[in-house]
Structure 1
Amino acid sequence: MSTSSDKSGDSPTPPPKNADASTVILLLGIAGDTTWRMFVPVIGGTALGIWGDHSFDSKPWLTVIGLAVGVVVAGLLVRNQLRKDVSK
């Protein structure tokens, strides 16, 4: 019965300190990427619809169509992003 000073099986080794920072940066990058994919098409479609309504005096139809198209485009962009991230 010899006692060994090797305790490598007792506790796992902690991750390096820079792993926490890189995880936070990665998550912030994903959040930022998803945010622009959601808001740019919706705001852009709505803005184009408002401009079209003022130009062609068709209130509120072009705004509603622009908003709907923006939501669909945003959904497609986020879906494609999720598929790409999951396949990694």
Structure 2
Amino acid sequence: MKDWFDAFQVLQLGWVVALMVIIPLLVGLWLDRRFDSAPWLTLVGMVIGILAGTFGVVRHFRRNYSAIDAKHSRHKEEDE
């Protein structure tokens, strides 16, 4: 059951990154159409999305990777 929890955390990370990149990009596209400023606001949205996605991944790994690694290390030691 704990392995499923680890798998869901990885899937959650994928969705978080995708949404953090796509939402600012779409907002940038919408603003460019509204203010006729293409492609500048789209590029700003893309940069914001990439930065947000990167920080989201770093934050996620800082929180979860050490705990997951410790669990797998314990399982590996038990198997030996």
TM class by shorter chain equals 0.7 to 0.9
Distance, in Å, in 1 between the alignment partners of 2:66 and 2:10 is 18
Structural mapping, 1:65-80, within 5 Å = 65-80=44-59
Instruction: Determine what percentage of the aligned residue pairs are the same residue.
Output: 27
Matching residue of 1:46: 25
1:32-84 CA-partner distances (Å, limit 9, x unpaired): 11112211011001100000000000000100110110010011011001000
Matching residue of 1:36: 15
Unaligned runs of 5+ in 2: 68-80
Unaligned runs of 5+ in 1: 1-20
Q: With the length of structure 2 as denominator, give the TM-score of the two structures.
A: 0.75
Aligned partner letter, 1:83: R
Matching residue of 1:60: 39
**CA displacement at 1:26 relative to structure 2:** 2.4
**CA displacement at 1:22 relative to structure 2:** 4.0
Matching residue of 1:5: none
- Counterpart of 1:83 (choices 62, 68, 75) is 62
**Structure ID, larger Rg:** 1
